[in-house]
Structure 1
Amino acid sequence: MTEQSLATAVRDLMPRAKADLTDLVAFASVADPRQFPVEECHKAARWVADAFAAEGLTDVRLLDTPDGTQSVYAEFPGPAGAPTVLLYSHYDVQPPLDESGWHSPAFELTERDGRWYGRGAADCKGNVLMHLTALRALRQVDGGYPVGLKVIVEGSEEQGTGGLERYAEAHPELLAADVIVIGDTGNFAPGLPTVTASLRGIAEASISITTLAGNLHSGAFGGAAPDALQALVKVLASLHDENGDCAVAGLTTGQTWQGVQYSEEQFRADAKVLDGVALTGTGTVADRLWARPAVTVLGIDCPPVVGGASSVQSAATARVSLRVPPGTDVKAAQDALVAHLEAAVPLGAHAVVERLGSGSPFSADTSGPAYAAMAEAMRESFGTPMVVSGEGGSIPLCNTLRTLYPEAEIILIGVEDPTTQIHAVNESVDPRELEKMSLTEALFLRNYAAARTA
């Protein structure tokens, strides 16, 4: 069997991948019953389970995780003496946000200008199809799988409720593997094969400020009455210095990134920064995104502009997110954020600061044999060498898996690229990235099996 025949098999499978992704995107599988019926998640889970069962995987089942959602599990024993590879992804998605901002229905896969649009097309249902297409190609070309396989497809990753993490901790034997392939990231640029070796962690807090027993008329009392919203704005402004760098006291902010670099011109284009608007922070873009802490105000509870009364505000609340780089303890970072918020409250104002969720940063060891096999697979698939990048987001499961299986290599790949607009309106996937990454994964499984059994 040749690599070209495997590439041909993947290419021929792309119409099926599109049809399957169309079916999967149609499920509004937002793991929040306040927004969408839980049945949408149940139907998506059953679809995923049936799809992997159809590819010969056994012991396919739905796991009821402690947060009330379902994860799909499947396995394949593999040849005698072969290593075991765990393939991960998730079928739950972000809510569509402003549906009027979509150029086509959020839960209807739509082809436009060579891309496939729909919520979850990239994050992360596209990665489910990457796994499926790789396995289908191997079955067609090689007649089976060269390694033992385990598959876990999570149902609540976007909600951060930790259901799969707690299930894995309670059943540590279930996901044990020699290599864990996390299908939830993507390439640094379209056509540039990338492994993600660094993830920032996350620590969140809320701050509520109260200054008055109730709102007051701004004409009669404004100028002397302490305004809670104004006090909150001062606190939030203190989180950044004059350059826009994180100013949370006690955090190190001068770290540098040694991997692939991100030009300011490319970042401005990828992030769709408006003309004339300067980027925030100092250092390289890669330093700011992957190596240093970043603090963001996620929301403020205050009166809207339309309908707001002429009042001095008696209370205001904000939710703050701190991204924590590898090398920084997430608990210490959350402690520093809480202490900073408390210290910045204007004298006399009543403030309550609460810790919200947190997840540790992750850094992978890229020196093992699985990474060598992945590098070769990416070179064969894309025709260019693999690069190593970071990711500013968080995947808390990675640290759970590293704790449970310290000897396993963990590799993060996927079909996303900077133009996919995950977590935003008009999310899309480039089918060429899906094709190349499916081929990459099939080649990797073959390469890794050969390296381990040589």
Structure 2
Amino acid sequence: MNHSEKLDTYFTSKREEHLEQLKNFLRIPSISALSEHNGDMRTAAEWLKDSLHKAGLENLSIDETEGHPVVYGDWLHAEGKPTILFYGHYDVQPVDPLNLWESGPFEPEIRDNKLYARGSSDDKGQVFMHVLAVEALMKENGTLPVNIKFIIEGEEEVGSPSLEKYIEDNKEKLAADIIVISDTGMYGSGKPAVCYGLRGLAGVQIDVKGAKGDLHSGIYGGGVQNPIHAIADILASFHDKEGTIAVEGFYEDVRPLEEEERAAYEALNFDVEGLKEEIGVNELFGETGYSYLEQTWTRPTLEVNGVFGGFSGEGIKTVLPAEAGAKITCRLVPDQDPEDIVKKLKAHIEAHKPAGVTVTVSEFDKGKPFITPFDHPAIQAAGQSYEKVYGVPTAFTRMGGSIPIVAAFDEILNLPVVLMGFGLSSENFHAPNEHFHLENFDKGLRVIVDYYERVAAFSKDDLKK
């Protein structure tokens, strides 16, 4: 029996035990957004530290931050071999609305070879797979093919407010050759993907104020500016009829799409008709001149997430509201800067502010975009590991969403980042009935151990950015 077969046998024989361990992890309601779960956050950190110890990792610690702690562990005895820094998170989203869950969010249950529980896909299941991969290699070989460091935080679901400082303060401790993150998804069922780019984020709230209080629309209407009309004018000014963003200078730093990337996206044969049916629309709409994948992966956006103001109850109320507003988020692409985009948004809003109102703009979430060349050896090796286990070619994709801390890792540690996820977009992460397809749990374990061994074949110079 060769090495690969031994590891396969190990995972098969330990499957039920591993799933029970994962269920115990999932039973901990580690909701970072709710202060009443602070004790559960500590419990989850302790559970992880104990699991890393059982897997054979050393130098274990629960490192305090201004928020929830970071769990750290390493194994550094592969002399001359590359070092992988693995990042994940142990916190989960709130579970509301509870009545839509078919089983308890913290009562893990397997149905149709899917594990249902909050955090099963995002991100406890994927984190624990890397712990089990290390454990398997240590049990079977007594050693690891590479050096490895684990950093698992407890604030990803609230924007990782403490992690950037932690990285800055621990640059030497976290020094590595590549960063591996499993907090993304595959291209589809049975279709593995390595993500090499994420969009950034810039969010603002626009508040429009008119009169000092609500006015009678019969007495004052037609003679006083209506803040809802004003916010509607501002929002309408953001795009032209073709879906292009009309904010001056918005596109000036956008990195053009490489023809090689465009060809790779075309080769994926994305099912546009299937998407329309899935989301319930009769046609798609986006920036002219780009395919849907290009629009959602490689082009920036400006989306209105919510509009508020006036009376919205049952019936009608003849009121001219005193205030109105909107919440906006922009998804950004390389080489856009969130601070620069917010400045341009403010200038645009000021230039298009109607008469008779005052307008204020409040800044919210910001995160820089991230991209690693998809021909980097660490990226290509991940694709080879997927292909070996899944038996199909790996897609190299960008992702329309944002993981702001990835750009911080990239900038502070200056390392290539490999996003190799095992989730599916249909798994309801952040929603009721979150689940994880156990086919990807089983195959993912084999992918990870194969990847660790492939990385061991590289020199440190091979892996430099």
- TM-score, structure 1 length as denominator? 0.91
CA drift at 1:428: 1.9
Q: Give secondary structure in 2 for the equivalent of 1:450.
A: coil
One-letter amino acid matched to 2:420 = I
Q: Percent identity?
A: 30
Could you list the per-position Cα deviations for residues 322-347 of structure 1 after superposition, in whole angstroms to 9, with x for gaps in the alignment? Answer: 10012223322222222223333222
**C-alpha distance in structure 2 between counterparts of 1:152 and 1:143, whole Å:** 22
Aligned equivalent of 1:444, options 443, 446, 451: 451
CA drift at 1:255: 5.2
Could you list the per-position Cα deviations for residues 326-385 of structure 1 after superposition, in whole angstroms to 9, with x for gaps in the alignment? Answer: 222332222222222333322231001122231110001333332343232122111122
**C-alpha distance in structure 2 between counterparts of 1:208 and 1:129, whole Å:** 44
One-letter amino acid matched to 2:210 = T
**C-alpha distance in structure 1 between counterparts of 2:100 and 2:74, whole Å:** 40
One-letter amino acid matched to 1:82 = K
One-letter amino acid matched to 1:104 = S
Name the residue aligned to 1:111.
110
Name the residue aligned to 1:178.
177
One-letter amino acid matched to 1:395 = I
Alpha carbons of 1:93 and 1:61: their partners in 2 closer, same or farther (altered >3 Å)? same
Alpha carbons of 1:263 and 1:172: their partners in 2 closer, same or farther (altered >3 Å)? same
Name the residue aligned to 1:192.
191
Cα RMSD (Å): 2.5
Name the residue aligned to 2:29.
28
1:305 equivalent to 2:306? Answer no
Alpha carbons of 1:296 and 1:58: their partners in 2 closer, same or farther (altered >3 Å)? same
Q: Give secondary structure in 2 for the equivalent of 1:241.
A: coil
Higher mean displacement: 299-308 or 311-320? 299-308
Tell me if the contact between 1:214 and 1:314 (Cα under 8 Å) persists in the aligned partners: yes
Aligned equivalent of 2:435, options 428, 433, 439: 428
Name the residue aligned to 2:280.
274
Could you list the per-position Cα deviations for residues 89-116 of structure 1 after superposition, in whole angstroms to 9, with x for gaps in the alignment? Answer: 1111222242233333333323333322
Q: Which runs of 5+ in 1 are unaligned?
A: none
**C-alpha distance in structure 2 between counterparts of 1:233 and 1:14, whole Å:** 56
**C-alpha distance in structure 2 between counterparts of 1:254 and 1:98, whole Å:** 40
Higher mean displacement: 283-292 or 37-46? 37-46
**C-alpha distance in structure 2 between counterparts of 1:61 and 1:316, whole Å:** 49
Name the residue aligned to 1:419.
426
CA drift at 1:125: 1.1
Name the residue aligned to 1:204.
203
Name the residue aligned to 2:237.
238
**C-alpha distance in structure 2 between counterparts of 1:59 and 1:69, whole Å:** 20
Tell me if the contact between 2:118 and 2:435 (Cα under 8 Å) persists in the aligned partners: yes
One-letter amino acid matched to 1:226 = Q
Could you list the per-position Cα deviations for residues 238-265 of structure 1 after superposition, in whole angstroms to 9, with x for gaps in the alignment? Answer: 3333344444332228954524343313
Tell me if the contact between 1:13 and 1:133 (Cα under 8 Å) persists in the aligned partners: no
Name the residue aligned to 1:7.
8
Q: Give secondary structure in 1 for the equivalent of 2:456.
A: helix
Q: Which runs of 5+ in 2 are unaligned?
A: none
Alpha carbons of 1:428 and 1:296: their partners in 2 closer, same or farther (altered >3 Å)? farther
Name the residue aligned to 1:338.
346
CA drift at 1:143: 2.9
Alignment of 1:125-140 (within 5 A): 125-140=124-139
Aligned residues: 449
Higher mean displacement: 438-447 or 341-350? 341-350
**C-alpha distance in structure 2 between counterparts of 1:268 and 1:20, whole Å:** 39
**C-alpha distance in structure 1 between counterparts of 2:400 and 2:113, whole Å:** 27
Alpha carbons of 1:109 and 1:342: their partners in 2 closer, same or farther (altered >3 Å)? farther
One-letter amino acid matched to 1:381 = V
Alpha carbons of 1:42 and 1:184: their partners in 2 closer, same or farther (altered >3 Å)? same
Alpha carbons of 1:310 and 1:37: their partners in 2 closer, same or farther (altered >3 Å)? farther
Alpha carbons of 1:230 and 1:88: their partners in 2 closer, same or farther (altered >3 Å)? same
Higher mean displacement: 251-260 or 161-170? 251-260
Q: Give secondary structure in 2 for the equivalent of 1:130.
A: helix
1:64 equivalent to 2:71? Answer no
**C-alpha distance in structure 1 between counterparts of 2:302 and 2:99, whole Å:** 29
Alignment of 1:72-91 (within 5 A): 72-91=71-90
Tell me if the contact between 1:197 and 1:390 (Cα under 8 Å) persists in the aligned partners: yes
1:371 equivalent to 2:371? Answer no
Name the residue aligned to 1:250.
249
Q: Give secondary structure in 1 for the equivalent of 2:189.
A: coil
CA drift at 1:427: 2.2
One-letter amino acid matched to 1:155 = G
Tell me if the contact between 2:84 and 2:148 (Cα under 8 Å) persists in the aligned partners: yes
Tell me if the contact between 2:187 and 2:424 (Cα under 8 Å) persists in the aligned partners: yes
**C-alpha distance in structure 2 between counterparts of 1:105 and 1:326, whole Å:** 41
CA drift at 1:161: 4.2
Could you list the per-position Cα deviations for residues 49-92 of structure 1 after superposition, in whole angstroms to 9, with x for gaps in the alignment? Answer: 111111111111111123x1111111112222222111111111
Alpha carbons of 1:121 and 1:245: their partners in 2 closer, same or farther (altered >3 Å)? farther
One-letter amino acid matched to 1:108 = E
One-letter amino acid matched to 1:188 = Y
